[in-house]
């Protein structure tokens, strides 16, 4: 995938960009700092979404726009298989409030990851399984999203949009307002979940 992305960039006139890839937990565990270096989250100090707390003065890179399409199908469930896996997933606030037994849908991990790397007023576009937006199991995750971001649009995508799966999906478009604006907005709406 990395080689195809590099080839695509060269063919489209961008031969100078540097693509980085970390195997295994990839973006679940690794982030960019504000100097474009890859840094690894530490399960001890970054527990429960506390990613901006570092022993040194590391600052995570924040983005204006995050577009993501998490994995779908059988492999989309994250279930810790070891103590290390459990420590890693506990760095996500949604694991603590919205997991389903001893597993969580990877779409929720991608959602929180996107939220945490957005700048204030940053924009998000994410494709999620329709089940995350509709079934009772994920009600706490939807509440978390509403409390953290301003949803601008929610599009139901038809079955078969993605060739490899017949999963019914939703496209969520949202932004991350500053805390005061979000609080004012949330105080003015009635939330039906």
Examine the pLDDT at 159 and tell me if it is beyond 90: no
* Model confidence pLDDT, tens digit, residues 76-131: 788 999 999 999 999 999 999 999 899 998 899 999 999 999 999 999 999 998 88
> Is residue 151 within 8 Å of 174, Cβ to Cβ?
yes
- pLDDT at res. 76: 74
pLDDT for 169 beyond 70: yes
Q: Report how far apart, in Å, the C-alpha atoms of 138 and of each of 94, 98, 129, 174, 184 are.
A: 10, 6, 11, 18, 25
Helix then strand then coil, % of the chain, to nearest 5: 35, 25, 40
- What distance in Å separates the CA atoms of residue 140 and residue 77, rounded to the nearest whole number? 17
Kindly report the average pLDDT of the chain as a whole number: 85
What's the fold here for domain 62-188? Answer: Rossmann fold (3.40.50)
Specify the 3-state DSSP secondary structure of 12: coil
CA–CA separation, 110 and 155 (whole Å): 18
- pLDDT confidence of residue 24: 58
């Amino acid at each position: 995938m990395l080689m195809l992305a590099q080839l695509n960039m060269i063919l489209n006139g961008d031969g100078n960009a540097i693509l980085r890839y970390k195997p295994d937990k990839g973006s679940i565990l690794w982030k960019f700092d504000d100097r474009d270096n890859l840094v690894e989250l530490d399960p001890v100090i970054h527990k429960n979404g506390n990613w901006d707390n570092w022993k040194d003065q590391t600052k995570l890179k924040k983005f204006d726009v995050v577009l993501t399409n998490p994995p779908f199908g059988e492999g989309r469930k994250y279930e810790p298989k070891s103590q290390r896996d459990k420590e890693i997933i506990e760095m996500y606030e949604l694991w603590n409030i919205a997991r389903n037994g001893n597993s969580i849908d990877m779409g929720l991990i991608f959602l929180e990851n996107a939220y945490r790397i957005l700048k204030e007023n940053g924009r998000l576009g994410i494709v999620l399984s329709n089940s995350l937006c509709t079934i009772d199991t994920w009600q706490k995750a939807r509440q978390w999203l509403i409390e953290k971001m301003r949803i601008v649009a929610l599009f139901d995508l038809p079955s078969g949009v993605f060739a490899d799966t017949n999963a019914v999906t939703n496209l969520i478009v949202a932004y991350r307002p500053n805390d005061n604006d979000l609080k004012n907005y949330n105080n003015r709406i009635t939330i039906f979940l």
